[in-house]
Structure 1
Amino acid sequence: MASVPFKLESNWRQFRRDFFASKGAVLGLAVALMLIVAAVFAPWVAPQNPYDLMQISILDARLPPGTLSEMGTFTHWLGTDGQGRDLFSAVLYGLRISLMVGVGSALAAGILGTVLGLVAAYFGGKTDTMIMRLVDLLLSLPSILVAMMILAYLGKSIGNVIITLVIMEWAYYARTARGQALVERQRDYVEAARCLAVPQWRIVLKHILPNCLPPLIVIGTLQIARAITLEATLSFLGLGVPVTEPSLGLLISNGYQYMLSGEYWICFYPGIALLITIVSLNLVGDRLRDIFNPRLQK
């Protein structure tokens, strides 16, 4: 039986060499890892729990960057917001929510879309037609509008935001997985497995799925950034996460009302954190796309 054409384990050295050849990708990966570590350890890194009422003083409201707190315990390096919360701490906690929503929705949508795409490609017929018509329908609709309608019905919560993003994102994985699987099912090693009476589920999982992973990994990386952007947009519009668990988008929304009064930092720094997160993830995703698609390489 012919071997599987692509295995990440056997090509790890080449993959690492190609990835680290791009300075932009290395920088994006380093920044993304730094943001993830900062978000995970936010309770220990942040000087204040911005949502603990015992640690917040209204006297610290709208302090400019670099101001000492009212109690004199620490300096608000990024200033404070309208409720007196330390903005640096709020950004770290908001980054946790944004990354949780982005990674969680991308992972769940990837699993669902990959399974449906493989089923559609391998079994074909009415199953393929039904799944792909649903994919075409979802991809033809404006994502933000449909997401607003779903969240207006479900209500504001982190779980509902993740469910909404999964509904909007799984079609991208399904179409990619189906297209790749249609090519792989015609390979000699798949035909040989069928002749050997290998169970269908084993053919799909052991022979077809590994060769569909490279483009799905690329899509997953880019979809994390897209999910974070969609969540920030929904939260900015007041339909995303609740006020008690604000993300970067909600922090931007809360600071937007102070822009005209001169307290720019309340909206500016969460926006910069969101921008850096999206750009770093996109740099990594773009490099993975170049590596896994030989036609894009020089």
Structure 2
Amino acid sequence: MRTRFAPSPNGPLHLGHAYAALVAHDTARARGGAFILRIEDIDGERSRPAFVEETLLDLGWLGLPWDGKPVFQSQRLESYAAAGERLKAMGLLYPCTCTRAEIAAAATTFGPDGPVYPGTCRDRRVDPAAAAAWRLDVERSLTMTGPLSWTDEVAGRQTATPMMFGDIVLLRKDLPASYHLAATLDDAADGISLVTRGMDLFNATHIHRLLQALLELPVPTWLHHPLLVEPDGRKLAKRRGSPSLGDRRRAGEDGRTIAQALREGRFPAGISLSRGVHQTP
């Protein structure tokens, strides 16, 4: 079996990342499997080589060695483009020029990511010269795949209900691919058989299962683990300045001791573990 830890190098890692890496690493080791490190570095405006180096140092400091060489999303852009062209040829992608403000104003329902796109551009001609994102026609896609399901090791068997997202963007205006498309293709390319990730991404799996069916990709099992959260219940986040692993490492703290404390459910004052909330159809 193969698991992976897939951080984005757009900021320093914190204890939440350490916990996610620990779950993937320890699960692989306990089952005699491989633990893969994937760097999700296709956000050209925010990704920094310095943060890649910090990630490698942090994992070593925690005592979480990975197997093989790290893999980089930036080396896989052709595979994302090819998948996009395949879905276009199937008649499942359409260009969209709507802004977030326009979507928010027109939306009548809300999904896991906020206002659900109302399909404004689905049947509208878009100027080929216009900067456009490419959206997946989810309803039409489901007529091709039929009913789908997936399995989480904790939550059990799930019926895939990607319609909760509406027609999601797969090819962005500003990036080579969306998280949904890139992560799904990468997990297949890396031979990942167990996708471990936080409960905040539980609902995203409904979309990923649809993409696997459309692109004829292997279907892994998932394990969505609890999140480390701040006193107000929000998950730890780089943008809110959660203490970084690098700062702890440079201050002389023992990374292996921190990793063992996380294994045992002992967290710094004010930090707790939350299973989060997910929808189970």
TM-score bin (small chain): under 0.3
Q: Of Structure 1 and Structure 2, which has the larger fraction of its residues in strand? A: 2
TM-score by length of 1: 0.24
Bigger Rg, structure 1 or 2: 1
Q: Write 1 or 2 for the structure with the bigger share of helix.
A: 1
The TM-score normalised by the length of structure 2 is: 0.25
